[in-house]
A and B are shown apart, each in its own frame.
Chain A
Amino acid sequence: MMMYESLPHHYQYQEINRITLAHFAISGLCLLGALDRVDKDAVSDWVLSLQAHPSNKADLTNGEFYGFHGSPSSQLHPDDNGVLMHNGSNLASTYCALAILKAVGYNFANIDSKSILTSMRNLQQHDGSFMPIHFGAEKDLRFVYCAAAICFLLEDWSGMDRERAKAYILNCQSYDGGFGLTPGSESHGGGTYCAVASLRLMGFIEDNVLSKNTSSSIIDLPLLLSWCLQRQAADGGFQGRANKPSDTCYAFWIGSVLRMLGGYNLIDKEALRGFLLTCQSQYGGFGKCPGDLPDLYHSFYGYTAFSLLEEPGLNPLCAELGMTEFSALGI
């Protein structure tokens, strides 16, 4: 809660991603069942103030993306003719914005989805990947995930070419079963989450697929399962890659993959719980590793990890969207 009210200056490096921090704080409170402490109207007003609006319909095909900014610092007021000169809105911020609006129960019918979805197509590349912003940046699975989550939340897939996105995702499956962030890169917990969650959201993997007796799957499922489970290390925590130290957040990234596939019960829950508790700080919240000071990112993922473990007092999680189930369902 302390973090929600004010963040210390070390976070200024993350200024451009304020909305991401807000998502962690608000969705975190949601998991803890403490959303009543938040002024929902003020939050939705702030989030909506970050939306980039095209000045007219023609703008939607000018190559720019009209979504949400990460913070007021990337927004500039329109010039005297009402033209928004420089649009810094991006996919990741848009996903966070919609996640927050969902969490506070904002009526999505009031959002200008058309602009978001039409202009989003400008960000998809020929190989199926996505750029987060129109003036160029990294292209990798993180933004494919953001795109899929945005379409899912807006209940409209016109924002992306799902088949192409799927092809890109499949190219990211490594020889060891996990997924890297780009084709050829090392398999990684975050990349694997983005891959599987995107495929789930787009409808290419059925729910609880491991319990079904289908032997065919678009991805190498047995190898993926083996890779995911091998990520649980001797200390009970999950590592993001082979032969690396455990880190709180992978309990969410990898745990969620297992949950989505229907294999969460195959892990050693007690061992994981033990590890996570050593990462909990005396000030509340979680750090990356045992003994570390807490930060907003690891705290949020610490809570989501405990939600997956069905810890009493935490609301259930929708693994595909990284938010509480009841938010996702619009309850």
Chain B
Amino acid sequence: MESDEGDEQQQEAERLPLSQRPEWSDVTPIPQDDGPNPVVPIAYKPEFSETMSYFRAVYYSDERSSRSFQLTKEAICLNPGNYTVWHFRRQIIETLHTDLQDELAFVGRIAKSNSKNYQHHRRWVAEKLGTGAVNKELQFTKKMLSLDAKNYHAWSYRQWVLQALGGWEDELDYCQILLGEDIFNNSAWNQRYFVVTRSPLLGGLIAMRDSEVNFTIEAILGNPENESPWRYLRGLYKDDTESWINDPRISSVCLKVLSTKSNYVFALSTLLDLICHGFRPSEEFREAINALNTPDSGPLDSDLGRAICRVLECVDPLRCNYWLWRKSKLPLTVSSQ
């Protein structure tokens, strides 16, 4: 609902009521029938009520004309969430064969001020245009994401474009750029995973894993408090826990972060998970945890898993109950590390 410079906004300001437009003089608007006891009645603005009343008239008579087409534009601007209006607009497009490129431009303007609801319609137009629409659609979502790099609808639309129409060539680079701008952008990390696992040009997760692990570790070391790369790192070993616990780089990054004695919560929780899955930590890990000097009572637990949980209870107090619970679920070891 923010003001925008699109011509739709201009039209609203200069708007002549439909009842005063000569080209609509033959149409009887159909007012909304709310019934005797409407629940949550809305105090509509007059232009909203009027537009919808005229819309109902042409929809009911199934009039697929250029004036109806224009009317759907006005109705959409007032209420982009109305499925019925979009649907009727599509029916008119099919009948009148209106320009599809213009349609993409229209949807683009709507999308800027209303970041939901446009997707299905845009998808329909793009499908009609076919693979020729790829570049335009990738440009469109890129534009949307430049306004809000985490726009959920733009990302899901972009994923659809890639899968339905192609254009994977530059996607990994695009993720790289976005992560360069904001390494905390979880949507960009998610897109990276999407590309690495699904791009027909890259060879799949296992082929990409090595370089991805290296990239992720660098990101972690740069900002160990950033949840996204830690999750991503784990994700690279999805369904392959064995390889995960055996990759020395994983435990090594945990140790590195612990040695800095700052921002080590995710390092600790990752180490805990590794241990729970069978990783056998060397003495250096115990030493690193000892050196943390957390305000914990008493000596470090002989079981490293339990020790980690106790530290986490202190340094991640929001999740204290969770760490207590994790501790209670640890297998009891007969011989300690």
A136 & B87 in contact (Cβ 8 Å cutoff): yes
Of B190-198, B244-252, B298-306, the segment with at least 4 beta carbons within 8 Å of chain A is B190-198
Interface residues on A, range: 35 or more
B320 contacts across to A, CB distance below 8 A: 268
B156 & A6 in contact (Cβ 8 Å cutoff): no
B152 & A267 in contact (Cβ 8 Å cutoff): no
Q: If A16-B82, A88-B84, A136-B120 touch, does A175 touch B232 (CB 8 Å cutoff)?
A: yes
A-B contacts counted at CB < 8 A amount to 181
With both beta carbons as reference points, the residue of chain B lying nearest to A233 in the complex is identified as: B318
Contact of A242 among B56, B119, B228 (CB under 8 A): B228
B321 & A174 in contact (Cβ 8 Å cutoff): no
Interface flags, B41-79, vs A, CB<8A=1, else 0: 111110010001000100110100000000000000011
B322 contacts across to A, CB distance below 8 A: 225, 229, 266
Q: If A12-B78, A266-B322, A268-B317 touch, does A185 touch B159 (CB 8 Å cutoff)?
A: yes
Q: Does B35 contact A (CB under 8 A)?
A: yes
Q: Does B234 contact A (CB under 8 A)?
A: yes
11-37 of chain A: CB within 8 A of chain B: 11-18, 21-22, 25-26
Q: How far is the CB of B278 from chain A (nearest CB, A)?
A: 14
A177 contacts across to B, CB distance below 8 A: 231
73-121 of chain B: CB within 8 A of chain A: 78-84, 87, 119-120
Contact of B40 among A4, A223, A268 (CB under 8 A): A4
The docked-state distance in angstroms from the alpha carbon of A278 to that of B148 is: 26
Q: Does B319 contact A (CB under 8 A)?
A: yes
Interface flags, A71-98, vs B, CB<8A=1, else 0: 0111111000000011010100000000
B41 & A6 in contact (Cβ 8 Å cutoff): yes
Interface residues on B, range: 35 or more
The docked-state distance in angstroms from the alpha carbon of A226 to that of B318 is: 13
Q: If A16-B79, A16-B83, A43-B39 touch, does A185 touch B44 (CB 8 Å cutoff)?
A: no
B42 & A12 in contact (Cβ 8 Å cutoff): yes
Q: How far is the CB of A70 from chain B (nearest CB, A)?
A: 9
With both beta carbons as reference points, the residue of chain B lying nearest to A14 in the complex is identified as: B81
B156 contacts across to A, CB distance below 8 A: 140, 180-182, 185
B52 & A73 in contact (Cβ 8 Å cutoff): yes
B321 contacts across to A, CB distance below 8 A: 265-268
The docked-state distance in angstroms from the alpha carbon of A327 to that of B87 is: 36
Q: Does A57 contact B (CB under 8 A)?
A: no
B81 contacts across to A, CB distance below 8 A: 13-14, 16-17
Q: Does A10 contact B (CB under 8 A)?
A: yes
With both beta carbons as reference points, the residue of chain B lying nearest to A134 in the complex is identified as: B87
The docked-state distance in angstroms from the alpha carbon of A323 to that of B131 is: 45
Known: A73-B52, A236-B318. 14 other contacts (CB 8 A): A26-B39, A47-B39, A85-B60, A138-B119, A174-B193, A175-B236, A181-B156, A182-B156, A184-B159, A187-B190, A225-B322, A241-B150, A243-B228, A265-B321
Which residues of A are interface residues toward B (Cβ below 8 A)?
3-4, 6-18, 21-22, 25-26, 39, 42-43, 45-47, 49, 72-77, 85-86, 88, 90, 132-133, 135-138, 140, 174-177, 180-182, 184-188, 223, 225-227, 229-230, 232, 234, 236, 241-244, 265-268, 271
Show 15 residue pairs from A and B whose CB-CB distance is below 8 angstroms, ordered by the A residue.
A9-B42, A12-B45, A15-B42, A21-B40, A26-B39, A39-B37, A46-B37, A76-B30, A180-B156, A180-B190, A184-B159, A186-B155, A188-B152, A242-B186, A243-B186
